[in-house]
Structure 1
Amino acid sequence: MKVVLMGATGFVGREVLDQCLKNSSISAVVAVSRSDLQIVDPKLKVSIVDDKDFLKYPDSLLEDIKDADACLWCLGRNPSSEINEARKVCLDYTVTGLQAMTPTTTKDKDWRFRFIYLSGGAAERDQSKVLWFAQEYRHMRGQVENTILSHAKDNQNTLEVVIMRPGFVLAKQTSVRDTVRGLAPSVRVDILARAMIALVFDASGRQVVENNEIRELGA
């Protein structure tokens, strides 16, 4: 199986990449990145891109991701980011990427390209709902979910979208900070990565996977 990984230099993306490279059922990984990852592995192809390439995929990038079976999308911005930058990365980059990767034909009658999108438990899909914290950011993340699910519905013969909605993402080694965060809905980064990869192979019709199910899948 060939997978595309977006956001390989981030906290979650680094763990996903490590587990993909160790997974014997994954034969090739294309990591799309603005910089070299300094990792040598026979399964890994690093496709170096500029910021503009996330909004208009050049032929070289399309060639690298051609014939992929799935994409693990870990690219995003956190709530502390400036909202216009967050919108560009979380919404514009994601929608452009999904559109570029959506196949026009299937490999066989049971095959669909699987797009595993890392969202967050606080994302709000109801754009009219009043929120008491981070409203603009949470509505924007919900807008991403609405948009990619709508795109999947329009391309249901060739595409499946699965949205991951973890709570706080904790490090593998517990710190004092993570102990406090762990009192709220949370998941360790290695468990989240395992759950994302598990869904590449078998989504079983899931479209949205919340924190508790992520922990079960990755356990």
Structure 2
Amino acid sequence: MKVLIAGASGSIGGECLAQCLAHPKISTVVAFVRRDLPVEVSSHPKLQCAKITDFAQWPEDLLEAHADAAGMIWAMGSYKGSRAVDVEYPLAFMRDMDRVLQSRPSRPRFGYVHLSGMFTRHDQDTKLWWLEYARKIRGLGEAKVLEFGNSNDVRWRVSVVRPGGVATEAIIGSRTLASMLGENWLVRIEELGAFMTYLAIDGGEEGAIIENARIVRKGRELLKTQ
């Protein structure tokens, strides 16, 4: 089984990549990157790296070569909000890949997993008191990918993941805080990575939008069985 990933150089994308490479059902992981990944990662026998110079324009021959993938983990995003990164890039991939998928009507639906966040907002007119632009632009991107998936659901299975805070080893005290605040607010990065990997290959029963508590519970369950 093959899985695609965008955003593998980031912390969450990197964890998703590690989880995919360790998954026994996944034989190949294709990371779309602008620059080389660290050699200790790129040398993994399951990993292929495909260079992309412009995420707004996906070469048809590249997508044709990987149209046999089970799905895409889209872990690319911006911190302050970027219309290109948060809206245009994921939609460009979906539209370009959809043209390829249309020529393969007998294949299973393509699983697209979109990393969003707990505090995103679809309503572009509402007044927000903090991080207004970032939360709205991410919400717009989320709404657009869901709309695309609903309009093309014979070929696409779209899941939007909305974690709260993400606890990592690099952020001192974040794991203790995650235990204190509970599953509604924080998720450990390995739980999130395991959950997004699961969604890409066989998470079709989870629904379109998944909130933090479900990510935590299912992520813990998946890690215990690995």
Same fold per TM (> 0.5)?
yes
- 1:46 counterpart (49, 63, 71): 49
Deviates more, 1:61-70 or 1:133-142: 61-70
Q: CA RMSD in A?
A: 1.9
The answer to whether the Cα contact below 8 Å between 1:119 and 1:141 also exists between their aligned partners in 2 is yes
Mapping of 1:144-155 within 5 angstroms?
144-155=141-152
Give the match for residue 13 of structure 1.
13
- 1:94 counterpart (85, 90, 93): 90
Distance 2:191 2:170 in 1: 12
Distance 1:177 1:195 in 2: 19
The answer to whether the Cα contact below 8 Å between 1:106 and 1:112 also exists between their aligned partners in 2 is no
Distance 1:49 1:87 in 2: 19
Distance 2:117 2:206 in 1: 20
Give the match for residue 187 of structure 1.
187
Distance 1:92 1:65 in 2: 21
What per-residue deviation string (whole Å, max 9, x for no partner) do you get for residues 66-117 of structure 1? 22110000011113xxx4xx22111111111121223214334xx2101000
Distance 1:173 1:140 in 2: 27
Q: Secondary structure of the equivalent of 2:213?
A: helix
Distance 1:202 1:176 in 2: 31
Deviation of the 1:60 alpha carbon: 4.6
Give the match for residue 106 of structure 2.
107
Q: Which amino acid aligns with 2:6?
A: M
TM-score w.r.t. length of structure 1: 0.88
Mapping of 1:22-33 within 5 angstroms?
22-33=22-33
Give the match for residue 224 of structure 2.
none
Distance 2:139 2:147 in 1: 12
Q: How many residues align?
A: 210
The answer to whether the Cα contact below 8 Å between 2:86 and 2:141 also exists between their aligned partners in 1 is yes
The answer to whether the Cα contact below 8 Å between 1:152 and 1:161 also exists between their aligned partners in 2 is yes
Mapping of 1:40-189 within 5 angstroms?
40-50=43-53, 52=54, 54-79=55-80, 83=81, 86-102=82-98, 103-104=101-102, 105-108=104-107, 111-172=108-169, 175-176=172-173, 179-180=176-177, 183=181, 185-189=185-189
Q: Cα gap change, 1:173/1:9 in structure 2, threshold over 3 Å: closer, same or farther? A: closer
Q: Secondary structure of the equivalent of 2:138?
A: helix
Q: Identity over aligned residues, as a percent? A: 32
Q: Secondary structure of the equivalent of 1:13?
A: helix
TM-score w.r.t. length of structure 2: 0.86
Q: Secondary structure of the equivalent of 2:120?
A: coil
- Structure 1: runs of 5 or more not aligned: none
The answer to whether the Cα contact below 8 Å between 2:70 and 2:111 also exists between their aligned partners in 1 is yes
Q: Secondary structure of the equivalent of 1:115?
A: strand
Q: Secondary structure of the equivalent of 1:203?
A: coil
